[in-house]
Amino acid sequence: MTLTHPAVALRPPRNRVERRAVGWWTARALAVAVPAAAAPAATALFVPAPYSAWLLLAAAALGAAGAAAAAVMPVWRYRVHRWEVTDTAVYTASGWLWQEWRVAPMSRVQTVDTQRGPLQRLFGLAQITVTTASAAGPVVIDGLDGRRADAIAAELTEATGRTPGDAT
């Protein structure tokens, strides 16, 4: 048995996130990778040989893995992440290794929040979190231009106000 809702079409969302999101994701990855590699390297300065060699090897391995993740992950995420807001639903596609498509009908939207962390503000980006009456959790649109995020939040707020239903 297939359940369908005539107003909500299951399809990939149309809009890409901002290209600046690649820089933001890269900076976030490096903010984790650099300290992770630096910690064993710094510790090696205070540890006698041959143990310091193992710590330097660990630092090199962590540094290489972090550099690879910082080089590949942001570009891959940019190719996957999509979003769209229509009169009837919010669509998102996200993920890196685990990819997810989400469709939230407007009648299920409960709250719309906009977030901007310090690093996001540096890149002029924002994130919108659409909380729904769903056990799957909120729908998140990541990597939006800050001004566009404000406009989308206002649009979603207005659209949910026009949509009949109690969002439960």
Q: Tokens standing for 116?
A: 């901007």
Which pLDDT value is given to residue 136? 85
**Same domain flag for 69 and 104:** no
Indicate the DSSP class of residue 98.
Answer: S
**Same domain flag for 66 and 26:** yes
Count the domains in the chain: 2
Dump pLDDT digits (tens) for 137-154. Answer: 899 999 999 999 999 999
Which pLDDT value is given to residue 134? 83
Indicate the DSSP class of residue 163.
Answer: S
CATH number at residue 140: 2.30.29.210
**Same domain flag for 91 and 154:** yes
Residue partners of 168: CB distance under 8 A and separation at least 6: 133
> 3 lies in a domain?
no
Domain edge (last residue) among 11, 45, 77: 77
- Report the C-alpha gap between 139 and 167 in whole angstroms: 14
**pLDDT over threshold 60, residue 111:** yes
At residue 4, φ and ψ (nearest 5 deg) are -130, 150
Q: Tokens standing for 115?
A: 């977030």
**Same domain flag for 135 and 148:** yes
Overall average pLDDT of the 58-71 stretch: 97
> 53 lies in a domain?
yes
> 12 lies in a domain?
no
Domain enclosing residue 40, as ranges: 22-77
Q: Are strands 15-16 and 109-115 parallel, antiparallel or unpaired?
A: unpaired
- Report the C-alpha gap between 54 and 45 in whole angstroms: 12
pLDDT band at 165 (very low <50, low <70, confident <90, very high): low
**Same domain flag for 45 and 88:** no
Overall average pLDDT of the 123-138 stretch: 92
**Same domain flag for 92 and 153:** yes
pLDDT band at 9 (very low <50, low <70, confident <90, very high): low
Which pLDDT value is given to residue 20? 97
Overall average pLDDT of the 86-110 stretch: 89
